[in-house]
Amino acid sequence: MGEKTGTALSTQNVIVAFEDFTPVRGISVDITPGKTVAVMGRSGSGKSTFIKAAAGIIPVTSGTVRVFDRVLGPLTNRELLRLRKTCGFVFQDAALWQNMSVYRNLALPLEQHYPDLTKSERDRKIRNAIDRIKFTDDLNLRPASLSAGEAKLVAFARAVLTEPELLILDEPTTFVDRTGVDRILGFLRELKESGTTLVIVSHNATVVSQLADEIMVIDEGELLVHGTPDVVAGSDNALVRDIVSDVLDQAATFDSDILTLLGEIDNV
């Protein structure tokens, strides 16, 4: 247990090193509860590894991670379960369990976190979640039958079913079509308004501009800047400006969002 820090997520000098490379090199950051933080960086800059380490999904080589003042380290099954109820995670490639139906993908987290729920209560929660993302397909389908965008929406529903106070999302809009992006944006806005802390790795200009209270820019495993969009926009660091422009420019290719994007880059 750590001392009370009043942060939703706090990392101190976090380093993640693999055998052949070190994707995260000493990132320290404090994220206030209720804030929405966009994490930006070029491909391979260490963003995904950092947020996975921050969520306790991959172990840190050195440094400390605190989630709502709890220091992450070796956790017992019970502690792990308690932490996961607080901290949800959406993977870039959805990571749905392929050997289960969509329904089981959604029911399993509920069974783990709310073992006393009756089946009808569980079904009601699942129905609410899929209604919110407007998922209309058969819940008995296997994830392999879904499009990448639909799988992403189901993964999103799975992560929010347990009503986490901190939700970490790795590229939530990748592979999702325009309608899907709008659904996710709407849902993220609801979560933000309800006080959920959001940490979003995103290349999507709309997500960053409409949701982010703060922006972190990471390059080669190091945190270049962390602050409000104004602070990041006013950064003297040319690398920061290059990365923000590069990332948003790259997003334009995928999002067909050139006009919006140009406005964003001008603002930055």
Binding site for another protein (CB under 8 A): 18, 52, 55-58, 77, 80-85, 88-89, 91-93, 95-99, 108-109, 111-113, 115, 155, 158-159
Nearer to another protein, 86 or 245 (CB): 86
Residues 6+ apart with CB under 8 A from 174: 92, 152, 203, 254
Minimum gap (Å) between residue 162 Cβ and another protein = 8
Nearer to another protein, 121 or 242 (CB): 121
Minimum gap (Å) between residue 87 Cβ and another protein = 8
| DSSP category for residue 144 | G
- Between CA 207 and CA 98 the distance in angstroms is 29
Minimum gap (Å) between residue 94 Cβ and another protein = 9
- Between CA 259 and CA 257 the distance in angstroms is 6
Minimum gap (Å) between residue 127 Cβ and another protein = 19
Q: Computed from CA positions of residues 180, 185, 186, 190, in that sequence, does the dihedral angle turn out positive or negative?
A: positive
Nearest to 35 by CA among 227, 212, 230: 212
Minimum gap (Å) between residue 55 Cβ and another protein = 7
DSSP string, 152-211: HHHHHHHHHTT--SEEEEESTTTT--HHHHHHHHHHHHHHHHTT-EEEEE---HHHHHHH
Nearer to another protein, 108 or 233 (CB): 108
Instruction: Give the SS3 label for residue 36.
Output: strand
Minimum gap (Å) between residue 4 Cβ and another protein = 24
Nearer to another protein, 52 or 183 (CB): 52
CA angle, 227 then 230 then 231, to 5°: 40
CA trace torsion 63, 67, 68, 70 (10° rounding): -60
Nearer to another protein, 155 or 252 (CB): 155
Minimum gap (Å) between residue 96 Cβ and another protein = 7
DSSP string, 67-90: ETTEEPSS--HHHHHHHHHHEEEE
Nearer to another protein, 64 or 92 (CB): 92
Nearer to another protein, 122 or 189 (CB): 122
